[in-house]
Structure 1
Amino acid sequence: MSFPRIDETHDPARSSWVEGADGHPAFPIQNLPYGIFSPPGGAARAGVAIGERIFDLRAAAQTGLLPAAASAVFGEPTLNALMALPAADRLALRRWLSALFSDEAQRPATEPLLHRAADCALHLPATIGDYSDFYVGIHHATNIGRLFRPDNPLLPNYKYVPIGYHGRASSIRPSGVPVVRPRGQRKPPEADAPVVGPSQRLDYELELGIWIGAGNALGETVPIADAADHIAGFCLLNDWSARDFQAWEYVPLGPFLAKNFQSTISPWVVTAEAMAPFRIAQPPRPQGDPQPLPYLWDEADQAQGALAIDLEVHLSSAKMRAEAMPPMRLSRGPAFSMYWTAQQIVAHHASNGCNLNPGDLLGTGTLSGPTPDSFGSLMELTGGGQAKIVLPTGEERAFLEDGDELALSAVARADGYVSIGFGECRAMIAPAR
């Protein structure tokens, strides 16, 4: 397993001439995530976030500021071509950008290509050909399983195979796009037959997204030792879920209308290279758990394959906003509660010859911690709707109501290094149509 290495771009002493970059809570010079943005009156194009500014990569390519090898990938309003670059080329571009923003001598030529982020619109960073969602948060899987199978919450296959399903790529949206309450079939416990109508048990799911870089040909596999080379970066992902639809439809084939109406992602791609200082050992499996099969096992992956990321969820109701109250934190927990690493997810997805392509998105599944204050969904926080959450206004929530705004956030932290953030992943619930 070959992970990106720590280099001068991660140096905590490296500072930037870009105003507001040093000490920025999400986008210091040590981060440099990529995204697709539109400046005022302009078309969508690729950019890099630094502080409260966005650097125009398309303009930089057109003016000759970018290295020739990198210029060709910024002609289209997506990051698919950038994601497809070999890891060495992506690293070279990151080092070039880091030097550009830290060298005062580059300021006169570079500063005109910076836009105020607050003035720009953000879009999906890539054309997502395929989206698959996994179920690797073991605390979440246990909590949900316990609601339905108290004596046997985890099914026998869980600890042998990374469980996942193929989701709907067309309904993924960037942060800020409202979620229209879905309509569908549900069967209330007291009813003899299902009814059709708006979901009464709308939930969120706190996840990480994994962006695929270099792909593999149909019929070929991605060996676990090479899986890190196929990951371009990470984002936040909220896989909105209609729990009442899900309970009625999931047998025998799993999620369908309960999850395909919309998923929300943070629009910035935090690169695999930026995450180098935040790689940690995968937590050891509990005593008695089976050893993963050889195609899923790599010693280097176990030593460095997990991620030191703190995740948070905040909720704001319409009444809270009207009364100028700050959002209420619902939970906070670590990302290393994943039973399977991102690399194991990738290797398993391609293990049957499935072809992954640059810009494909994989979800981890809900990442809950071991205690209630770190649960990643309302289904867990409220015990399936039995114990309601009381908001600062006195309002109660078992599941999401119209006008509620849900925000996910994430910060990668490691001793001796500058923390980096993922940007916003938020959306408001709109009434059913």
Structure 2
Amino acid sequence: MASDTGTNATAEVNRARIVRHLYRHGVDSRAQIAKALGLTPAAITKITARLIDEGVLHETGDMAGTSRRRSIGVALDTAQSHVIGVKFARSLVEIGVFDLSGHALSMEELPPVDESGIEATLQLIHERIHALMDAAPAILAIGMAVPGPYLKSRGHTAVVSSMQQWRSVNFPAEFADAFAVPVLIEQDARAGALAQQLFSPGPGADSLAYYLLGEGVGLGVIEHGAIVDGADGAATEIGHISIDVAGRPCECGNVGCLERYCSAVAVHDDIDASGLVSHSASLSHRQAFAALCERAAAGNAEARALIAGVGTVVGYGAVTIVNAYNPSRIVVGDILAQAGEPLLDAIRAVLDERAIPELAAATEVTLSELPTDAAVTGAAAVAITHLLEHPSLLARS
């Protein structure tokens, strides 16, 4: 029995290697797969035949081969299998259905969460996921992106500024066994980093930092292709690194935390105080910042100055990212990324002035190019990564 278990585990590992290779490279011949993975052509033929029988792979037709041999392309079927991605933020929850390529098939935002509505929100999440699964049997896994710092080893968040009731939720206990498919839970910025690696790889995909600037400030770092986790799963928590030892108090117990100056919540407070956006107090954080960006784009000097000031503070965080983690690329995403190039210009100016010069010069800073919010797409990426690592879950026969 032990031998059979070991054989099956090895077979699943090789199946996963083939599936991940095709996910990244698209169409390849069996000979090309064998060469890339260092497996024998006979082994590749056997494994791909089974994956085709199970509906995981499909043949795409003739390809140019070597030595005048006929080759047939093989590809992963990304359209027929779906996942659900759920993003938890301080005051909102988004739920999307995605195919394996990361294409959003549907997206919905639940009613805003308030301090008295956590239980009602949890119940609604259960109801909506069950409804989506009843309507789409092709859903094979659920990914969830939760606010950090998320203590993965314990199942709950340590601090959730402006919405501390989320700390009482043990996410695995609440969701892990609630549905008929696997549920995978990850901190939101790390989920965003996975989304960048999976759906928008480009140069430096195996050494990147996703800098989340939403209702909180977070960081996900991929080093040598793997997420940096830490002992409790709460590493890279940049939002609670102090940039002013005599600064604003934070709910985490520290003072001067980065999150107190450049989260969407903090910037919304600044917008309200400035009077630049009429009725800003009645707007969501995303709406208020979008309105500020519109004023800046129209030439309003005060709005431009406010965005530049925010970008400078974001740049202080970027200095820590560059000096501490030395990524090839920093990808800026979520609400504040709406500011576009003016935000990037301010970040780059701070990096040029304050980061170790050789490291700053070697680090590209870009905006996320994902078509939907990187955290909810990241939640989908967490689920998709699990399926790619366990291709038996993709079998349809």
TM-score by length of structure 1 reads: 0.24
Higher strand share: 1
Q: Is the helix fraction higher in 1 or 2?
A: 2
Instruction: Return the structure number with greater relative CO, CA threshold 8 A, min gap 6.
Output: 1
